[in-house]
Amino acid sequence: MSDPFLPSESDCPTIPVHAVTPETLAASLEALGAPAAAFVRASGFKAKVGEHIVVPGPDGIQAVLFGVPASEPQGLVFGKLPSVLPAGDYRLGEGIADRRLAALGWGLGAYRFFRYKAAPDGARLRLDADTNRAGLERLVGAVTLARDLVNTPANDLGPAELASAVRAALEPDGATVTETVGADLLPGFPLIHAVGTGSERAPRLIEATWGNAGDPKVTLVGKGVVFDTGGLDIKSDTGMLLMKKDMGGAANVLALAKLIIGAGLPVRLRVLIPAVENAISGRAFRPSDIYPSRKGITVEIGNTDAEGRLVLADALAFADEEAPDLLIDMATLTGAARVALGPDLPPFYSRDDALAARLQALALALADPLWRMPLWAPYEAMLDSKVADVNNTASGGFAGSITAALFLSKFVEKAKAWVHLDIYAWNPSAKPGRPEGGEAQGIRALFDLIAERFGGAD
């Protein structure tokens, strides 16, 4: 996408965007002058939330009026404007409660996926002089990276291409990236190999490291299923339609890693992405198969469409072996999470009450919504197997997101703190700051959590 912000050195004329409510509309109209006020009244503009009007002047557009909430946080509501305003150059005007969040909303709302079609000119925003431009551009750039990866179809984004994307994103900033590919996975990562072996495109574990060895260890694990047919327990056509996004966890942890490195946080960062395609062939793993895991726990396959937790299990066990100070995994893991909380509110799980409370608070403050769900221990019995240590799916069909989190928890013992996020990584319809398509969810809240916990944010 093109840059949503005007260059910092630009001195070209800009159009003010004023935030208004029904209560402040009269004062705003008085400030604009009689001709403009008459035009706005004749147009029937009432300053409803999300409503806008382009106010003409003698030399073009005089201003834009935009309806905002009067008694609640304005959030990313300004993200609606880049898609509805005429191409041109704008600036934030009066009545805006949180100018940084408004600018962020604009930047996120300007996103379009134009890899396969030409990009039109768009609306650009001049940032306030005191805005932390570098930090804002890092946030928008990271979200753009995640969205671009999720939106890319699987024919152009297989396991090898995902590894290349990790290298392109992190190696220029000093990270070291390695891969364990194909049959080399068998000795240490048998579950990753089992899930990916049905595809012609070799599975792999991608590992990136950055930072000083003596700094606190922060490890990010992202589900990298580049396409999920469901395997032999094949999905329906509608269930398979969006499965290019099943690597959304990998895209999100890569974007979060980009934020951490870009801000120079004083952590020893490690990123692990099990990258596989869950395909159907004579080599594909089967229901009722039993596999060892890296941790030594044997797993009975109750359903081949619950493959994400399998690849995460080996990656989490690997991450846990060095007892990181903070271990975070992100995955488009369960439809049950969407049934419970919908597409916009990802659940997260943690054993650390203080960490969970802070993450919840940050998510609310940053308009990056998350909701804590319980690791309800009595439900572990649903994962029992008569022939292995654990089944990869729960009996009974209830509490699917919770039981998936409980399955993963069996592979995390030594980490000082662990957070699991069951994200959707997709906007089914456009909302302010959140265009339809691939999405980054939770990474802004997680970044602030890490910066608070370990210091170093600008």
| Residues 186 and 52 occupy one common structural domain | no
Supply the pLDDT for residue 1: 62
Looking at 88, 105, 131, which one is the last position of a domain? 131
Distance of alpha carbon 69 from its chain centroid, rounded? 26
Which one of the listed residues 80, 126, 217, 309 is annotated catalytic?
A: 309
Which one of the listed residues 99, 235, 358, 431 is annotated catalytic?
A: 235
Looking at 83, 108, 131, which one is the last position of a domain? 131
Residue with tokens 């329906």: 236
Residue with tokens 């935009």: 66
Assess if residue 4 is contained within a domain. Answer: no
Supply the pLDDT for residue 76: 92
Residue 331 bridge partners (DSSP): 422
Cβ–Cβ under 8 Å, residues 373 and 347? yes
Burial of 245 (0-12, 13-18, 19+ CB in 10 A): buried
Read off the pTM.
0.96
Q: Taken in order 200, 205, 337, 307, is the CA torsion positive or negative? A: positive
| Residues 145 and 190 occupy one common structural domain | yes
Cβ–Cβ under 8 Å, residues 203 and 274? yes
| Residues 207 and 281 occupy one common structural domain | yes
Residue 431 bridge partners (DSSP): 434
The total of structural domains in the chain comes to: 2
Is 434 designated active site? no
Residue ranges of the chain with pLDDT lower than 50?
none
CATH classification of the domain holding 162:
3.40.630.10
| Residues 157 and 26 occupy one common structural domain | no
| Residues 106 and 198 occupy one common structural domain | no
Cβ–Cβ under 8 Å, residues 382 and 292? no
146, 422, 247, 438: CA torsion to nearest 10: -40
Residue 186 belongs to domain spanning: 138-454
| Residues 48 and 166 occupy one common structural domain | no
Supply the pLDDT for residue 458: 62
| Residues 124 and 161 occupy one common structural domain | no
Distance between CA atoms of residues 66 and 25, nearest Å: 10
Assess if residue 2 is contained within a domain. Answer: no
CATH classification of the domain holding 71:
3.40.220.10
Looking at 71, 102, 131, which one is the last position of a domain? 131
DSSP helix/strand/coil, 50: coil
Is 223 designated active site? no
| Residues 199 and 61 occupy one common structural domain | no
Angle at 250 between CA 146 and CA 172, to 5 degrees: 70
Assess if residue 152 is contained within a domain. Answer: yes
| Residues 113 and 206 occupy one common structural domain | no
Distance of alpha carbon 272 from its chain centroid, rounded? 16
pLDDT tens-digit readout, 36-85: 999 999 999 999 999 999 999 998 999 999 999 987 677 899 999 999 99
